[in-house]
Structure 1
Amino acid sequence: MRMDRVTLPDISGMDVEDAKQVLRATAREHRSRRPANIRGELGNQWVATAMDFIDDAQIIAVYASVNNEPPTQELCEALIAAGRRVLLPKLGPGLAREWGWYRGADDLAVLAPGRPPEPSGDAIGSEILAEVDVMLVPAMLVDHHGNRIGQGGGWYDRVLKQIRPETRVGAMVYPEEYVDIDLPQCDTDRQVSYVLLPDRWGACGATEPVAVL
């Protein structure tokens, strides 16, 4: 189910933010060419892989996937079916990004164009992160050091500063997005410790990069 590789653009000589933007654009274009049926098949694969990574953790923070992101809908359903508690990002007061408990797909609503669906109920502040055992974050690209390039808002970098040191953090990416180049990073960026591909997971650095875009 791998897609054909495309070569990442030469970013040498660019400043960090310009380089990130160029890499994001390449990754987005590549994702846009993945057929929906293949995305669905990979999403089903990810359920077993993510459940193995999560193991016996009880409180899991997950992103609500949109568009061409690695799908999380089936995973969220599998988690609550297994009796786990799932947190999803939620819009809080003053457009603050907070959290809400996932109660099922029927409980989700899109509150603003282009935003991920959110659970109903009150928004929960960042203090809830002290209870999270595992966090699954989105990424456009991840390298073998655990550096990640996200969508560009910096929200997850801020979140990763607030979690407990023992919370396991994994980024879900398509196989060709786990790359063997060093991704550009700035001082505010935060690394992830694990990468979750559809059919396997592992520690960044210990898991061989699959391919270069």
Structure 2
Amino acid sequence: MPSPSRAGEDDAEQVEHAKETLRKSIRAARSARSERRRHEAAEALAQVVAGIPAVAAAGCVAVYAARPGEPDTGPLLDLLAARGTRILMPVLGTGLQRDWAAYAGADDLRQRAPGRPPEPGTPQLGPAALAHADVVVAPALAVDTSGARLGQGGGWYDRALEHARPGVPVVAVVYADEVYEADARPLPRLPHDRTVDAVATPSGVRWFRSPDAG
């Protein structure tokens, strides 16, 4: 009979295997989307996220620059910048080092290494800068209706969100078919995986925690 610690390790390995299998499937489906469909989704998504009352009222929002295949956040960044909203963007250091920098326009974004999302060239502000954000818009591959989020696998956001202010809403962004009903199709999840408060798709936003809850 395996020891409790060994059994726990086996369970964790099974969860990670299930996550990676699902990631491959979702990435393949995303890569099959046409350029036209991606563009239409990006424009719709910008309106959905910008229309969230907490985002509309925010002085500072944390938003990422999408990688190829991800729902494009370019139109959202343009819309928020035109409003005068301060935008914080993630900066990836070595390993899982976390940092943030201010968005200074699309022309300032650079992909610093293959596979990494574009990053701003403005001064790095440190991981604690996330505490200035009134809303955090986070990438995801899938979300279920319990708030479980499937990320890319590095755990970057799970750790970065430790610096968000308590009660600040975290909104994951996916395509509509990447939202799963938790009762029928729960996402594989480990105890340390951070849940999100809402999911935004080109079709609308769905809250799992009241946006007015502290």
Q: Which amino acid aligns with 2:21?
A: V
Paired residues of 2:100 and 2:130 also in contact (CA < 8 A): no
> CA offset at residue 161 of structure 1?
2.2
| Inter-CA distance 55–29: structure 2 relative to 1 (3 Å threshold) | same
2:39 aligned with 1:40: yes
User: Structure 2 length as normaliser, TM-score?
Assistant: 0.86
**Where do 4+ consecutive residues of structure 1 move more than 2 Å?**
91-97
Paired residues of 2:88 and 2:130 also in contact (CA < 8 A): no
> CA offset at residue 91 of structure 1?
3.5
Q: Percent identity?
A: 42
Paired residues of 2:135 and 2:170 also in contact (CA < 8 A): yes
> CA offset at residue 61 of structure 1?
0.4
Aligned to 1:194: 198
User: Structure 1 length as normaliser, TM-score?
Assistant: 0.86
In structure 1, how many angstroms separate the alpha carbons of the residues matched to 2:36 and 2:95? 38
Aligned to 2:9: none
Q: Which amino acid aligns with 1:192?
A: V
> CA offset at residue 129 of structure 1?
1.4
User: Could you give the per-residue CA deviations for residues 56-111 of structure 1, whole angstroms, max 9, x where no partner exists?
Assistant: 11100011101110110111111010010001111447872311100111111111
> CA offset at residue 204 of structure 1?
2.7
In structure 2, how many angstroms separate the alpha carbons of the residues matched to 1:140 and 1:92? 22
Aligned to 1:168: 169
Aligned to 2:22: 23
2:90 aligned with 1:89: yes
Aligned to 1:210: none
| Inter-CA distance 79–189: structure 2 relative to 1 (3 Å threshold) | same
Q: Which amino acid aligns with 1:41?
A: E
In structure 1, how many angstroms separate the alpha carbons of the residues matched to 2:198 and 2:77? 19
Paired residues of 1:92 and 1:123 also in contact (CA < 8 A): no
- Single out whichever of 89-98 and 108-117 deviates more from structure 2: 89-98
| Inter-CA distance 143–94: structure 2 relative to 1 (3 Å threshold) | closer
Aligned to 1:108: 109
1:45-60 equivalence runs, <5 A: 45-53=44-52, 54-60=55-61
In structure 2, how many angstroms separate the alpha carbons of the residues matched to 1:150 and 1:95? 14
Q: SS of the residue aligned with 2:57?
A: coil
Q: SS of the residue aligned with 2:189?
A: coil
Structure 1 unmatched ranges of 5 or more: 1-13, 207-213
Q: Which amino acid aligns with 2:81?
A: I
Q: Which amino acid aligns with 2:15?
A: V
1:151-162 equivalence runs, <5 A: 151-162=152-163
User: Could you give the per-residue CA deviations for residues 128-162 of structure 1, whole angstroms, max 9, x where no partner exists?
Assistant: 11111000001111001000111000001111222
In structure 1, how many angstroms separate the alpha carbons of the residues matched to 2:209 and 2:180? 11
User: Could you give the per-residue CA deviations for residues 17-55 of structure 1, whole angstroms, max 9, x where no partner exists?
Assistant: 111011111111111111111001110001110111112
- Single out whichever of 47-56 and 148-157 deviates more from structure 2: 47-56
Paired residues of 1:169 and 1:193 also in contact (CA < 8 A): yes
> CA offset at residue 205 of structure 1?
7.7
| Inter-CA distance 26–205: structure 2 relative to 1 (3 Å threshold) | farther
Q: SS of the residue aligned with 1:135?
A: strand
| Inter-CA distance 178–149: structure 2 relative to 1 (3 Å threshold) | same
